[in-house]
Structure 1
Amino acid sequence: MASVELQAEPESVGLSSRQLARVDAWRERLVAEGKLAGATTLVMRRGKVAHLGCSGLADLARGTPMAPDTLLRIYSMTKPLTSVALMLLYEEGLFQLDDPITAALPCFRDMRVATGGNRAKLETEPAHRDITYRDLLTHTSGLTYGFMNATLVDELYRNQGIDFQTSDRSLAALVEQAAGLPLIAQPGTAWNYSIATDVVGQLVAVLSGRDFADFLRERVLLPLGMTETDFAVPDAARPRFAANYMRGPDGRPKLIDDPEASPFLRRRAIASGGGGLVSTAGDYLRFCRMMLNKGELDGTRLLGRKTVELMTMNHLGGDLASLGTPRFSESSYDGIGFGLGFSVMLDPARAQIAGTPGEYAWGGVASTAFWIDPAEEMAVLLLAQLTPSSTYPIRRELRVMTYAAITD
C-alpha cells in the first residue's frame, strides 16, 4: 500500500502553516454545511508532504471516515496515466505524434464530419485528414462524449451505447463502433473533451500486443508502486471504498453509487483509459512525484526527462477558449492550454486564478483534482466524491488557498 503521511513542517519548505490551516477550516466547513460528505487535501513541496487533511465521511450510511487510504473513483484522473502508457511506446519508437492512427486502428479510415442537419438526416462531409496520435492526446480529434448533450453526434453516442464507463463489450469492439459515427469537428481544428483517451487505451493494446489493463498495471502502476490503483476494487479493500454522491434537492449529498453495490466492485470486460480507475491519495501522489521528478521515482525511471517536458507543454497554439467551447468544468479555459494528457497553465491573469505558467493539471467528474507546478516544486491533491465536479467551485478555491501559502 502506498501510504502517505506528513513529512515536513510547512515553513521548512517555504509554506505558511497559518495559511494551510485555512485549508483545513475550509474543508471542515464544506462538510459541516453538507456540501461534501468528506474530502482529503494534500500539498507537497520540495519532495515533502507539508499538508495532509481529511474531513467528514467516505460513506455517510456506514459512518466510514474519510482517510488518506480511502479508495475513490478518480474518473478522468485516469487520463494522464493512460497518456503516460502511450508515451512509453512513443519512447520505443513505435509511432510519431503526427502519425495517423489508422495504421494501428484502420476502423478510423475515411471518417465523416458532421456539418449540420437534424435528427432525421445528419449532414456530413469527409474528414480533411486522418486523426493523429497528438489529436487524441490533446482532445482535438473531433471525437466527443455522449453525456455532453450538445450536438446531434452526442445523441448518436447515447443512442448507440458508446459509454466506456458502463459497457460490458470489449475495448476493441466499442472503439470500432465509435469509429463508425461522425466526428463533430475536423481533426486538429477544435478542442472537444471526448472518448479520445479511451481510444488511446486501445492504441496501447494494439501497439504493445497486450491487454490495455495489463499493460497499464505492469508498465506504469506497479513500477510506480501504485499497488491500489486499478479498474476494480478488490474484496479486501471494500471497507475503504467511498460512496459517490450528487447534490440532492435539499442541497445535501444524495447517494448515487453505494460502495457495497458499485459497478467498480467487479472487473468488467472493458477497461476505460478515460475514466475507469479507483485510487488513493498515497497512490496518486506517487504519480505526481514521478512527474515532478521528470519521469523518475525512487530510482525507477519511467519516462525520459524530455518526454515529460513534451507532455506538459502546450500543444494547441493557443488556449482552450480560442479552440472551442469548453464544457464539463467549473473553470474558465481562458489562459489555459493543453498538452499530451494534461491542461497547461499559460497565463494566470487571463485565467483569473493564481498559478504559474507551465503548471499542469487535470481532474475527475466526482470532484477529484490534481495540479503540479514544476517552478514552485509543488503538487496538490483534492479528493472527494461529489458528481459533477462543477457542483461547487472547490477546485478554484483550493488553488487560491494553496498558492497563497507560498512564502518564499
Structure 2
Amino acid sequence: MTSYAAEALGFDTSRLARIEPYLQKRYIDSGVLPHCQLLIARDGQIAHFSHQGSARDGGKPIDETSLFRIASMTKPITSVAFMMLVEQGKVALDTPVHRILPEFKNLTVMTGGKLGAFETRPTSQPMRMVDLLRHTSGLTYGFQERTAIDAAYRELRLERWHGGLTLDEFVAELGKLPLEFSPGDEWNYSVSTDVLGAVIQRLSGQSLDAFFREQIFAPLGMDDTFFSVPAEKLDRLTDCYTLTPKGERIMYDTGEDSAWANPPTQISGGGGLISTSLDYHRFCRMCLNGGTLDGARIVGRKTLDLMTRNHLPNDSDLSTMSQSLFSETTNAGTGFGLGFAVTKDVAKTLLPGSEGEYYWGGMFSTAFFIDPVERLHMVFMTQVSPSSAFTVRRELKTLIYSALT
C-alpha cells in the first residue's frame, strides 16, 4: 500500500492500520467478498488507500485502476446533474414532473387489483421534481416484491438496461401504471432517479451519458466513469457476484465478458455507472469543496447545502416514512436530501459520525460518505449483491472514526 500522510491529516496511524487486517480476515479470507478497496480522505487528501483480493476469479489483485459497477452510487451524480439545470432556471424543485414528462400527466394511486385490472384513485397532489430526488414519488423497484405494483414492473421487465426499453419507452410504460402512494405521503426506494435521468435528457436536449461526460466527468477529470466500458479498458473491469438464497456466492457478471461492455438500451441514472475509487474520490472532493474542484465549478455552494439537508416532509425520518424493504441505509436517525441520505441524529444511528453527514451506496455493496464537519470522506468498493447481506459499511464507519485524533 502506498504511504500517505495520515498523521498530518489527523489520524492515528496505528488505528488506521487495524482496518486492512480486519477486512482481510473477516471478508476476504473467509470468502465473503472476492475483493475490496477502501479510500479514506480528509480535506481532499488521501489518508488511506488499500486494495485486497483478486479483480477476477483466479486473476491479478485489484489496484487503483480497477473498475467497479457502482450501481446506486450513480444516483447522487444524477441528482447533481439535475440541480445544474435548476441553477440554469430550466426547472425547479416544485415543478410538476408531468410538465417535462407529459407521460406522467394522469397518474393514479393503486387501491387494489393487479396488472391489467388495477383499482385506482386520483393522486392527492401531483408528483413534483423534489419527490423524484427524495424518493417520495410513489414509484417503486421491481425487486422489492412487496406489492402488485412492483410485480407489474417485473412482469413488464421495465428495469432491463440491456436489450429492453429505451429510457423514453420506460417512462411511457411507467406513466400507464398506478403509484403505490400519493406523492409526498411516504418514502420508498425506487426508480425515481431513473425518471430524473429522463427529465435531464428532455431539458438538456442531450442523452444522459453525453450530459454526464461533458458537464461533469470531463470537468472533474473523472476519465474512468461511464455507462459502458471502452474496449481498451475492459481488462480493468472486476468480476461481480451475487448471493443465492442459501448465501452461496455465484458469478453475476464477469469482467471478461460483461454486459457493461455494450452500450445500454436504457441508460440508468439510478444505477448504471462504472467507476473507480479515485474517480469517485474526485466527485466527493467536489461536493466537500462546495461544488468546485481544481477550477471547475459544477454546482453552487448553496445548491449543495440545499441538497444535503433533510427534505422529508415535516422534517421526518426514514424510520417514520419508509415502506421500503430494501435500501442503501439503515433508517434510524436518518433523513433524506436531494439524492443523498442525511444523518439527522447521530445517537439514533448507534454509530460515530456527524449531523449533516451525507452518503449512499450501491447494490453490489459499494459505499461512500461525506462528513462536512470533520472534512472527511470515504469510498468503498467491492462487487457482491445484495448489499443488505453485509454489515461492512457500519463496521468501516466505526473503524474510520475511531482513528481520528
Counterpart selection for 2:47 from 47, 50, 73: 50
Partner of 1:351: 349
1:247 shift after superposition: 3.4
Counterpart selection for 1:229 from 222, 225, 247: 225
1:229 shift after superposition: 0.3
Contact 1:164 1:272 in 2 (8 A): no
Change over 3 Å in CA distance of 1:25–1:119 after alignment to 2:
same
The percentage of aligned residue pairs carrying the same residue is 42
1:9 shift after superposition: 1.9
Contact 1:100 1:133 in 2 (8 A): yes
- 1:40 lines up with 2:34 in the alignment: no
Let me know the Cα RMSD of the aligned residues.
1.6
Contact 1:41 1:382 in 2 (8 A): yes
Secondary structure of 1:40 counterpart:
strand
1:341 shift after superposition: 0.4
- 1:301 lines up with 2:317 in the alignment: no
Change over 3 Å in CA distance of 1:253–1:68 after alignment to 2:
farther
Partner of 2:84: 88
Partner of 1:138: 134
Letter in 2 for 1:41: L
1:246 shift after superposition: 2.2
The TM-score, its normalising length taken from structure 1, stands at 0.95
Letter in 2 for 1:107: E
How far apart, CA to CA, are the structure 1 residues paired with 2:260 and 2:116?
37
Counterpart selection for 1:382 from 376, 380, 383: 380
Partner of 2:325: 327
How far apart, CA to CA, are the structure 1 residues paired with 2:355 and 2:393?
18
Counterpart selection for 2:363 from 359, 362, 365: 365
Letter in 2 for 1:204: I
Contact 2:328 2:363 in 1 (8 A): no
Partner of 1:240: 236
Partner of 1:186: 182
Change over 3 Å in CA distance of 1:107–1:331 after alignment to 2:
closer
Contact 1:6 1:49 in 2 (8 A): no
Contact 2:71 2:272 in 1 (8 A): yes
How far apart, CA to CA, are the structure 2 residues paired with 1:326 and 1:178?
19
1:269 shift after superposition: 2.6
Secondary structure of 2:287 counterpart:
helix
Letter in 1 for 2:38: T
How far apart, CA to CA, are the structure 1 residues paired with 2:385 and 2:394?
16
1:7 shift after superposition: 7.3
1:104 shift after superposition: 0.8
Partner of 2:400: 402
How far apart, CA to CA, are the structure 2 residues paired with 1:250 and 1:349?
34
Change over 3 Å in CA distance of 1:164–1:223 after alignment to 2:
farther
Letter in 1 for 2:135: H
Change over 3 Å in CA distance of 1:367–1:131 after alignment to 2:
same
* Structure 1 consecutive aligned stretches of length 4 or more whose deviation exceeds 4 Å: 118-121, 248-252
How far apart, CA to CA, are the structure 1 residues paired with 2:264 and 2:44?
36
Ranges in structure 1 where 5+ consecutive residues have no aligned partner:
none
Deviation string for 1:214-245 (max 9, x for gaps)? 11111111111111100001111111100001
Deviation string for 1:263-309 (max 9, x for gaps)? 10111232110000000011110000000000000011111000010
The TM-score, its normalising length taken from structure 2, stands at 0.96
Partner of 2:120: 124
Counterpart selection for 2:389 from 373, 382, 391: 391
Contact 2:189 2:327 in 1 (8 A): no
Contact 1:35 1:252 in 2 (8 A): no
